[in-house]
């Protein structure tokens, strides 16, 4: 399989390329400027692999939730590249990508509550469980104030920068946050891992269906108290 993945939903701008068993990747954590870095990353991966875009089997991208600008960038680049090369697309949740990263770090963990910083006093969150080698959703993706999350997550581990932005969140939800997991961000590597089964099953989107998922409906004003 030859699969390209990209993600710009958070501070981590990244691209990854799988050719058979070989994995190549580029990533850079930066608060802005993803548009300047993403296409050069993709070009560098294709040059390193000696491939053209049209030689790929599919393209995957992190579809959010995350930064509105970053999520739109990933979707628009995925659309443009897929249209130009005649490729199908896989859209992958960025919350699920964080869960996938966490489960890959500790194989004894079975459930992960992912909380990403949504700014504006809120977090994006969802619960995931290990099924084989993949993180599978056990709850819908939601956005809300940290205090809106209940304590029914006890026994799960926490991951994502929502736990850094709101240090009281771990105690409030009753989850355990392993060392360093409060700093985890999604990356194209996990987007790629989660996209592989979809490509193998032929569950591909047409380029025009590669759209962002914001979860939050508006950023025009802060949420009402």
pLDDT tens-digit series, residues 164-173 = 999 999 999 9
Domain shared by 148 and 175, yes or no: yes
pLDDT of residue 98 exceeding 50, the answer is yes
Domain shared by 73 and 98, yes or no: no
CA distance 178 to 175: 10
| pLDDT the model gives residue 222 | 46
Residue-wise pLDDT tens digits, 172-183: 999 999 999 999
215 within domain boundaries:
no
H/E stretch holding 124 reads strand 123-131
Domain shared by 167 and 125, yes or no: yes
221 within domain boundaries:
no
214 within domain boundaries:
no
Please compute, for residue 118, the number of CA atoms within 13 A of its CA located in the half-sphere on the CB side. Answer: 26
Which CA distances in Å does 82 have to 3, 132, 186, 197?
12, 30, 22, 19
Domain shared by 53 and 102, yes or no: no
Residue-wise pLDDT tens digits, 77-97: 999 999 999 999 999 999 999
% of the chain exceeding 70 in pLDDT = 96
Which CA distances in Å does 163 have to 106, 166, 178, 184, 197?
18, 5, 11, 10, 30
Residue-wise pLDDT tens digits, 26-81: 999 998 999 999 999 999 999 999 999 999 999 999 999 999 999 999 999 999 99
In this structure, are strands 88-92 and 111-117 parallel, antiparallel, or unpaired? Answer: unpaired
For 124, the token pair is 């994006």
H/E stretch holding 14 reads strand 12-19
The residue segments making up the domain with residue 143 are 94-183
CA distance 127 to 123: 13
Which CATH number belongs to the domain containing residue 89 in this structure?
A: 3.30.420.40
Task: Give how many domains the chain has, as a whole number.
Answer: 2
First to last CA, the chain: 49
- Cα Rg, the chain, nearest whole Å: 17
Going by pLDDT thresholds of 50, 70 and 90, the confidence category of residue 221 is very low
Please compute, for residue 146, the number of CA atoms within 13 A of its CA located in the half-sphere on the CB side. Answer: 23
158 SS3 class: strand
153 within domain boundaries:
yes
% of the chain exceeding 90 in pLDDT = 92
Domain shared by 74 and 115, yes or no: no
220 within domain boundaries:
no
């Amino acid at each position: 399989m030859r699969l390209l993945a990209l993600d710009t939903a958070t501070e981590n701008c990244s691209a990854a390329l799988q050719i058979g068993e070989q994995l190549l990747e580029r990533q850079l954590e930066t608060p802005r400027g993803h548009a300047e870095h993403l296409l050069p990353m993709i070009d560098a991966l294709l040059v390193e692999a000696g491939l053209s875009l049209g030689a790929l089997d599919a393209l995957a991208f992190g579809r959010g939730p995350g930064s509105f600008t970053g999520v739109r960038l990933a979707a628009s680049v995925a659309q443009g590249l897929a249209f130009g090369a005649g490729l199908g697309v896989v859209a992958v949740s960025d919350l699920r990508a964080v869960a996938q990263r966490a489960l890959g770090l500790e194989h004894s963990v079975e459930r992960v509550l992912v909380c990403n910083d949504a700014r504006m006093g809120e977090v994006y969150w969802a619960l995931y469980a290990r099924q084989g080698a993949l993180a599978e959703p056990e709850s819908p993706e939601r956005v809300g104030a940290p205090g809106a999350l209940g304590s029914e997550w006890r026994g799960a581990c926490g991951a994502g920068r929502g736990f850094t932005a709101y240090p009281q969140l771990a105690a409030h939800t009753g989850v355990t946050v392993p060392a360093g997991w409060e700093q985890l961000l999604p990356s194209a590597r996990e987007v790629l891992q989660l996209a592989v089964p979809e490509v193998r099953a032929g569950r591909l989107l047409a380029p025009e269906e590669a759209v962002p998922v914001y979860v939050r409906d508006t950023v025009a004003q802060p949420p009402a108290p």
